[in-house]
Structure 1
Amino acid sequence: MKKFLMLLGATVFFIISCSAPKEARQKRNLISGTWSLDNISYEGTEGLFKSVLFNDAQAICFEGSDWFFRDNNSTGRYTLTAGSLCSGGDRFIRWSVVNNQLQFKFIDEKRKDISGGLGYRLNIADLTAQNMVLKSTVSDNGSPVTVVYNFSKK
């Protein structure tokens, strides 16, 4: 009987320790769906910036892009419109919410990692059923600059 209780206790502990915290689950549920990246701005310094985001395309290519997050299997994609500065198309991602951050990495159409385990983390600054603001801090000539991504739910 003691062995059974110890095994049961260890199993419950394992399940609890592996489950996502309630706050992360709530954020995942809010993020799930289709979003439009309406605007990208910069905080922390003055001036104009020309930046390449997620080692993919210039920031201007991301404005107006569609982002889709599926929470039941942690996959999604973002779609850029083709233009003179932009290579359009879908980019597939695997995503999660950890410590108030949205993190993602690139995958292929078959859900296989194509980024060598490398990914991106964006701080969740604001999240409601209709709006999401993500931020990431980068360095520009040794000074911190915060990139602000403003999304609206479709």
Structure 2
Amino acid sequence: MYLKKFLFLVLITTGLVISCSVSKSARQDRSIINGNWVLNNVSYEGSSGKFSSVLFNDADASCFEGSSWFFRNNNSTGSYMLTDATNCNGDERFIRWSVVDREGMSSQLQFKFINEKYKDISGGLGYRLDIEALTEQYMKLTSKVQVEGDPVTVVYEFSKIE
């Protein structure tokens, strides 16, 4: 009787560990993302004209250009600081992040806001950005949005700081 319960618990635990494991590809992406980055450019594809946009329900896109981002791989936390310009709050924002590996599609960087004590402050809501390019020195992320009913892709181009 006890042996059956023990085997059942071992099988359940093994199943949970396997289902929660991170793919080799996601681990590799996380390792590359780990460290300090600068968001050099925010641009838009799929539509012409000038855009005024608020990114991540935080600040105007212009505040993000030149912002500093930090990703810590070992505990999936990080932060970013916007440029300290007019109408841009340069305070540090804390995030919890991960890489989502999607079979047959580009991987995604996902993050949500946390406080300095690593507690969720976003009610579980977060953001997912497609990883279009990722090298040791360059990262290009995109997100698809609708502008007046038309699809537009927001492009985020980062370079790694040594």
TM-score (norm 2): 0.88
Structure 2 residues not aligned, in runs of 5+: 102-106
User: What corresponds to 1:92 in structure 2?
Assistant: 94
Amino acid paired to 1:62: F
Deviation at 1:81? 2.2
Deviation at 1:18? 1.7
Match of 2:39, SS state, is: strand
Match of 1:29, SS state, is: helix
Tell me the distance in 2 between the aligned counterparts of 1:153 and 1:70: 13
User: What corresponds to 1:49 in structure 2?
Assistant: 51
Deviation at 1:85? 2.2
Tell me the distance in 1 between the aligned counterparts of 2:117 and 2:54: 26
1:18-54 deviations in whole A, cap 9, x for unaligned? 2111111111111110000000110001111010000
1:130 matched to 2:132? no
1:105-116 equivalence runs, <5 A: 105-116=112-123
Tell me the distance in 2 between the aligned counterparts of 1:7 and 1:91: 40
- Aligned partners of 2:65 and 2:83 also within 8 Å: no
Moved over 3 A (4+): 2-14
User: What corresponds to 2:125 in structure 1?
Assistant: 118
Deviation at 1:147? 0.3
1:76 matched to 2:83? no
1:102 matched to 2:109? yes
- Aligned partners of 1:81 and 1:89 also within 8 Å: no
1:17 matched to 2:1? no
Tell me the distance in 2 between the aligned counterparts of 1:52 and 1:41: 13
| 46, 55, 66: which one aligns with 2:68 | 66
TM-score (norm 1): 0.93
- Quote the sequence identity (%): 64
Tell me the distance in 1 between the aligned counterparts of 2:12 and 2:124: 31
Deviation at 1:7? 5.8
